[in-house]
Amino acid sequence: MKNNIKTINRKKSLGLLSISAILALSGLTTIYAAGPAPVNLLSANNFTILAKTGISTTGTTLITGDIGVSPNAATSITGFGLNLTDASPFATSPTVVGKIYAPNYANPTPTVMTTAISDMETAYTDGAGRVVGAVTELGAGNIGGLTLAPGLYKWGTGVTIPTDVTLSGNANDVWIFQIAQNLDLSSATKIVLAGGAQANNIFWIVAGQTTIGTTAVFNGNILDQTAIVLNTGAVLNGRALAQTAVTLDSNIVTSQISTTSAIPAIPATPTSETNTATIPATPAIPATSSSQNTNVYTNNNSNETGCSYGNNFSITTGRPCISVSNSTNTNYDAGCLSGNRFSITTGHICNSSTLNNSNNNSAGSSNLGQEIKMIKSNCFVGNRNDDVKTIQLFLISQNKGVSARNLASVGATSYFGDLTRSALAEYQASVGITPPLGNFGSITRAYINSH
């Protein structure tokens, strides 16, 4: 077989098992294969992080989605500063845009958690048991630098990813990776999605430990029979579902929100601000965009992965998918396209007299800065007033991370709920205010007044 062979026709997918070794020897960089059916996560799909023995974090970790442990109790969830009201089925945290569950919380959480753990184990067994059309032992366990099309990939060893690996396919394609030992993604390395591939359709079935290196970017759902470890600054776009523990260190973890949640309802509160993350509406692609037919936007400063299907912000780096520098008018926010409510580049409110639809040097932004400095009262969860609205607008304009963008998708409601607290905690952590509790008080006020 010639060395310049790069692809396998989808119609020949049944021959993958027998020829995969030959292709690996021929310098293969791209494989096209028929994608398998997705792994059904059942009720485990409702969680971003789920573990049996514990979830721990050091540093400031930001999580979008629900997390939970079982059968271990809530004491095995550490580093999040849990807030639990009497007789509540869940706790909250300033760094979790979602809810936190443990089997010692109020009903129906114990039953929900038992079911979720069982479903996680069932999903692992399903994923590990797939056999049809598998590509086996690709790269002898080293898949760095490869571009992989949808399919089933199987190793009887561990897998290492020392350099970027690309998963290329459309939004409905599925990847399943069966790994009999450890999975290691090296520091500063990325699992890149191309052609519209979605993290929610990627399943890493790992028998050993999964380790995501420092500042690495990982895409997909990890179902691990042992532990999952994210080193400092690593980003996970997907789920961490471990049959032992999940260990975090100043990470960003985000998953797509389930549409079939079996989680207990949030107790009624007088709020128009949701307590779970809301995915921002997809903006229309401008008619002049050179990316209109590629499904991948390009930032003028760097090529951004994770900017598929008009994402406001990259799902892998968190940076905007379209740069403000696309506009020649310094008083025009290039992210305010086709009637967007919020800029897809800066997070500023579009067509707003407060922010003046411009950058941080504008008069509108200056006015907001003066308004935030005029706040004299302390603000915390449960407050509803104009000071809260000013704080929300300020946090949206600062755009310090995922919580600010989730708040932007809801808007300035004047009600101080869990989402506002998470965004404020995110801002506090970014400027060095410790501990980042998400309350607006004397320390935060003093910092803003001095800057």
* pLDDT tens by residue, 96-138: 999 999 999 999 999 999 999 999 999 999 999 999 999 999 9
Which residues on adjacent β-strands are paired with residue 183?
Answer: 159, 210
Burial of 251 (0-12, 13-18, 19+ CB in 10 A): buried
Give per-residue burial for 99-122: e unless 16+ CB within 10 Å, then b. bbbbbebeeebbebbebbbebbbb
Residue 388 has pLDDT above 50, yes or no: yes
- Domains of the chain, residue spans: 1-259, 329-450
Contact 193, 306 (CB under 8 A): yes
In this predicted model, which residue has the larger pLDDT, 348 or 403? Answer: 403
Query: What burial class does residue 4 get, using C-beta atoms within 10 Å of its C-beta: 0-12 exposed, 13-18 middle, 19+ buried?
Result: exposed
Check residues 320 and 84 and name the one with the higher pLDDT. Answer: 84
Average pLDDT over residues 421-429: 88
CB 315 within 8 A of CB 309: no
Q: What ranges in 324-401 are assigned the alpha helix state H?
A: 363-373, 386-398
Q: Over range 51-68, report the average pLDDT.
A: 96
- Per-residue pLDDT at 87: 86
Over range 430-445, report the average pLDDT.
Answer: 87
CA distances from 11 to 15, 16, 32, 87 (A): 9, 10, 10, 57
- What pLDDT score does 260 carry? 41
The model's pLDDT over 275-318, given as tens digits with 9 standing for 90+, comes to 433 333 333 333 333 333 333 333 333 344 554 434 445 555 55
E strand segments, 200-359: 202-206, 210-212, 217-224, 228-230, 235-242, 245-249, 252-254
pTM of the model: 0.57
Q: For residue 131, what pLDDT is reported?
A: 95
Residue 352 has pLDDT above 80, yes or no: no
Q: Which residue has the higher pLDDT, 245 or 35?
A: 245
